[in-house]
Structure 1
Amino acid sequence: MAQAKYSTASSSRECRPRGRPQLRSDEETKQIVFDAARHAFAVDGYAATSTEELARRAGISTKTLYRLFPGKAALFEAMCADRLERLLSDVHLQANDEVDIETGLRAALLACADLALDPEVVALQRIILQESAEFPELAATFYKNGIMRTVAALAGWLRAQVKRKRIAIDDVEEVAGILIGMIASAPQRAAIFGGVPLPSRKDIARRVRVCAALFLDGCRAKSP
């Protein structure tokens, strides 16, 4: 009986994992920091949130935080870039000759609207507006990594349509900016300044249909 007990105990010890537990990767840690930073910046503001507070929220040391990000501004830039990159990776604006121009334009505009009116993107804009006077580099980062990349994606789609002679445009970048402004600027302002809820997917689709029709056909009354 004693021998049996010893064998069981010995077997139990042999089944235990050996060595130190596997450490979390830097990429996993960064995602945890991004989540903590998004919440902290949204609640307390960028200026009022210290790096020590960010490290505490993320459950890491300030030494680890500074190893991953040289400072708070670098963290904010990386956080914006990460979120926008994930959203932009879902924006596929591919020209398709089998789809008519209006259907293709609606799909392209809807993809851009989904990005521009994403709740987290609008939340980032709200933070940037609150802090832009003291930290103008935040606005520059968001403009470069978010707004201009979205414009470039739509401009690429429009350029493909011009090459196919389906539309005639002199400056595709300018037109892309105008179109994104038509579908997103008013809802963004209403949400940020007026506290109005962001439009539903159905409302966004309706707005996209109106925008596409205005762009392709105009709204001037025809002469009798």
Structure 2
Amino acid sequence: MMDQIQVKRRAGRPTPEEAEQKRQNLILVALQEFARAGYRAASLRDIAEKAQISSRTLYNHYPDKLALFEACLEYSGRQIRPDVPYLEGDLHTRFVTYAVEMQRQLFAPTSLQIARLIYRECSDFDALRQIARLQFERHQLMPVVDILANEGMASDKCHDYATQFVVMAFGEWQRRLLFGGEPMTEEEMTTHAELVTTIFLNGIF
């Protein structure tokens, strides 16, 4: 009898794959809710309900709204970060590929909504600003640092030069984000990335 009870209990538990799928679904639902309602107005109870989990389960994974928001930005950052080892071609081509891929992902609707949320609410929530800065460093800046380091640039220069390239590469995206405008077309992204890369590389090499 006891063995049967144990089997039933084990059968009711989600597999690791199912648990990971539920966690990922929670993140996707939370991303959409943060983008829709904003950080301040987003409700953890509503997020749990829409993700079809209990509030207790949500809090077991993320003790507060800030922890969940950080997990959302980490997930989003991993999704849009190009895999540097698979960037092929010469240095110019790798920079252009990186810039185009990042712009393509940053212009996605949810990415734009989250970016607007950060711009809008960071002034009121310093913790949000710190999380956004760390995610920027990890997922947008470090791939460029890796490219430069692999090219043989001195380590004490990589971060500063990578910062300058990212500022240049995403300048048009930021302008449209702040002042309005349609997302860039694929042709516009490529033209912009080619121009920025040419200016950048001619200035430092």
TM-score, normalisation: structure 2: 0.80
Aligned to 1:9: none
Aligned to 2:169: 183
Compared with structure 1, are the counterparts of its residues 162 and 48 closer, same or farther at alpha carbon in structure 2 (3 Å cutoff)? same
**Aligned match of 2:112 in 122, 127, 131?**
122
User: Which of structures 1 and 2 has the bigger CA Rg?
Assistant: 1
Which sections of structure 2, spanning at least 5 residues, go unmatched? Answer: 1-6
Aligned to 1:212: 197
**1:112: how far off?**
4.1
Is 1:196 the counterpart of 2:175? The answer is no
Aligned to 2:126: 136
Residue identity in the other structure for 1:183: A
Compared with structure 1, are the counterparts of its residues 136 and 77 closer, same or farther at alpha carbon in structure 2 (3 Å cutoff)? same
Q: Distance in 2 between matches of 1:178 and 1:138?
A: 23
CA contact (8 A) 1:46 1:131 kept: yes
Q: Distance in 1 between matches of 2:61 and 2:195?
A: 45
CA contact (8 A) 1:33 1:54 kept: yes
**1:181: how far off?**
0.9
Q: Distance in 1 between matches of 2:87 and 2:149?
A: 10
**RMSD in angstroms over aligned alpha carbons?**
2.8
Higher relative contact order (CA 8 A, sep 6+): 2
Larger helix percent: 2
Query: 1:1-224 counterparts in 2 under 5 A?
Result: 23=14, 25-88=18-81, 90-93=82-85, 99-162=89-152, 171-191=157-177, 193-217=178-202
Which sections of structure 1, spanning at least 5 residues, go unmatched? Answer: 1-17, 219-224
Alignment: residue pair count: 193
Compared with structure 1, are the counterparts of its residues 114 and 55 closer, same or farther at alpha carbon in structure 2 (3 Å cutoff)? same
Q: Distance in 2 between matches of 1:169 and 1:199?
A: 33
Q: Distance in 1 between matches of 2:159 and 2:105?
A: 18
**1:114: how far off?**
3.9
Compared with structure 1, are the counterparts of its residues 71 and 175 closer, same or farther at alpha carbon in structure 2 (3 Å cutoff)? same
TM-score, normalisation: structure 1: 0.74
1:2-33, Cα deviation, whole Å (9 max, x unpaired)? xxxxxxxxxxxxxxxx9666747332222221
Compared with structure 1, are the counterparts of its residues 117 and 146 closer, same or farther at alpha carbon in structure 2 (3 Å cutoff)? farther
Q: Using the aligned pairs only, state the percent identity.
A: 22
